[in-house]
Amino acid sequence: MTDPASAGTGARDPDALIARAGLRGDPNRDQHFLVDDRVLDRLPGYLPEGTDASHLLEVGAGTGALTDRLLAVADRVTAVERDPRLAAFLREEFAGEIDAGRLTVIEGDALDVDLPADATASVSNLPYGVSSEIAFRLLPTGTPLVLMFQREFAERMAAEPGTPEYGRLSVTAGHYADVAVVEPVPRGAFDPAPAVESAVVRAVPRDPDYAVPDDEFFLRFVTAAFTQRRKTMRNAIRNTAHISKLDDPKAVVAAADEALMGKRAGEVTPAEFAHLSRLAWEVGDPAERE
């Protein structure tokens, strides 16, 4: 991993950027600008060592403090910003970089716009209200990610089986990448300060060490099980066929290992979920096989 303490060389002051933009962050619009220089400077350095930084994607560029740091380490940056006023400011503030072909500003919602297919990694301070949806748009791309989340969400993403934080999010994020919380970030690092603590997550893409019959079915099967996390897997599978879209959940329970059926979802490892999804695919008559 690159040394986070020495990665950032951006020259633009975050408070000065806010002043030049003439816009304050609006919590009602999920706008909390990261203004701590030390955190901003460290973020690009959390990319895994050897990451191709030729084209970095930033979602939620705001007034451009992180954009500036990314331009210091990347050949090209694509910045997505849904607020038209902020997008206009970015185009003005970074006119030189845009003219040089080093920065592209995409105005629009990151859940709706076409993201660049050739982006090699993403470093972003995500809008928390849609951070889950954006993360699961980025994770399947197979590129390294350094993303800012609410701390509770970040810890659930990286949680291990058997811990209170472990759940659907842990399994589904881990299906695409090795996920780790690399830095907690206090409220005071933002302007305006959010109501929650934050944390930086690094996701290093990998192929899982288990096989699943179908990605969409596997993720839906996991989601179904965690809707009844206090029930045993035996009851969870039986009770959630409307979510998992299994026509014969009882056949899955009958074919599965008795000890595994006695566990609760929070105790089931990703590999065990994969095993159960293969079994469900074979004997449970899922919708995809019709």
Comma-separated ranges of CATH 1.10.8 domains in the chain: 215-289
Contacts 24+ apart (CB under 8 A), 83-87: 83/29, 83/31, 85/21, 85/23, 86/21, 86/23, 86/61, 86/62
- Which residues are paired to 38 by β-bridges? none
Q: Where are the alpha helices (DSSP H) in the chain?
A: 4-7, 14-21, 37-42, 65-73, 84-93, 95-99, 131-138, 151-157, 168-176, 215-226, 233-239, 241-244, 249-255, 258-261, 270-283
201 Cβ contact partners less than 8 Å away, ≥ 6 residues apart: 145, 146, 147, 148, 149, 154, 157, 158, 179, 180, 181, 182
Cβ burial, residue 225 (10 Å; 0-12/13-18/19+): buried
* Closest among 132, 131, 281 to 215, alpha carbons compared: 281
pLDDT above 60 (res 246): yes
pLDDT above 60 (res 1): no
pLDDT band at 7 (very low <50, low <70, confident <90, very high): very low
Q: In the prediction, which pLDDT does 4 show? A: 42
Residue 120 DSSP code:
-
Question: Which tokens is 168 given?
Answer: 């659907």
- Which residues are paired to 264 by β-bridges? 232
- Which residues are paired to 13 by β-bridges? none
pLDDT band at 133 (very low <50, low <70, confident <90, very high): very high
pLDDT above 50 (res 3): no
14-58 pLDDT tens trace: 999 999 999 988 887 888 999 999 999 999 999 999 999 999 999
pLDDT band at 9 (very low <50, low <70, confident <90, very high): very low
- The amino acid at residue 258 is E
235 is in an annotated binding site: no
Comma-separated ranges of CATH 3.40.50.150 domains in the chain: 4-205
Q: In the prediction, which pLDDT does 190 show? A: 97
User: What is the pTM assigned to this prediction?
Assistant: 0.91
pLDDT band at 74 (very low <50, low <70, confident <90, very high): very high
109 is in an annotated binding site: yes
Q: CATH assignment of 215-289, given 1.10.8, 1.20.120, 1.10.3470, 1.10.10? A: 1.10.8
Question: 2-11, 28-37, 136-145, 261-270: which has the minimum mean pLDDT?
Answer: 2-11
Query: 């002051």: which residue's tokens?
Result: 13
47 is in an annotated binding site: no
17 Cβ contact partners less than 8 Å away, ≥ 6 residues apart: 63, 64, 65, 68, 93
Q: What is the mean pLDDT of residues 196-221?
A: 96
Q: What is the mean pLDDT of residues 104-132?
A: 96
pLDDT above 80 (res 69): yes
**Has domain 4-205 been given CATH number 3.40.50.150?**
yes
Q: In the prediction, which pLDDT does 290 show? A: 58
- Which residues are paired to 178 by β-bridges? 204
Query: 């975050």: which residue's tokens?
Result: 14
Question: Which tokens is 258 given?
Answer: 């008795």
Give the separation between CA 115 and CA 85, rounded to whole angstroms: 20
Mean pLDDT of the chain: 94
Using only the alpha carbons of the chain, give its radius of gyration: 21
Q: In the prediction, which pLDDT does 29 show? A: 83
77-99 pLDDT tens trace: 999 999 999 999 999 999 999 99
266 is in an annotated binding site: no
Give the separation between CA 156 and CA 174, rounded to whole angstroms: 11
* Closest among 110, 121, 175, 185 to 153, alpha carbons compared: 185
